[in-house]
Amino acid sequence: EVQLLESGGGLVQPGGSLRLSCAASGFTFSYYGMNWVRQAPGKGLEWVSGIVGSGGTSVSAGYTHYVDSVKGRFTISRDNSKNTLYLQMNSLRAEDTAVYFCAKDLGRSGFSSLDFWGQGTLVTVSS
């Protein structure tokens, strides 16, 4: 059974940093792309960042992608030996306040929908 468990959320002041983790189990983690998706209170879903897995082409494995609003502030990474996905968030702003979901790619190609999601971790940026 696929499981994704996020942790690391909390209250942080504007300009501060936080690192989110997503512990994965139930599938060969390294093969699949992984993503972070966020949802501000009462708002819709926003894809934040993704990292390609090794199941696609060797050229694209490990490639990272970001939405423009977090480029230069957030860094996605993965530790395949620990089956864990990370999101390092620096220079946090009030508008980064949201529930952050970790989500797995359905396929290995790097172009895929998201078939499993964690329950989310809340990040609140406020003074």
> Could you list the residues that contact another protein (CB under 8 A)?
35, 37, 44-47, 50, 65-68, 101, 106, 111-115, 117-120
Q: Which two tokens stand for residue 111?
A: 């172009």
Cβ proximity to another protein: between 11 and 106 the closer is: 106
Cβ proximity to another protein: between 30 and 122 the closer is: 122
Separation between Cα atoms, residue 52 and residue 31, nearest integer Å:
9
Sign (positive/negative) of CA torsion 26, 29, 34, 40? positive
Residue type, 51: I
> Least Å distance between CB 81 and another protein?
26
> Least Å distance between CB 127 and another protein?
27
Cβ proximity to another protein: between 27 and 117 the closer is: 117
- 13: three-class secondary structure by DSSP: coil
What lies within 8 Å, CB to CB, of 94 at 6+ separation is: 14, 125, 126
Cβ proximity to another protein: between 69 and 91 the closer is: 69
Separation between Cα atoms, residue 83 and residue 51, nearest integer Å:
13
> Least Å distance between CB 126 and another protein?
22
> Least Å distance between CB 1 and another protein?
12
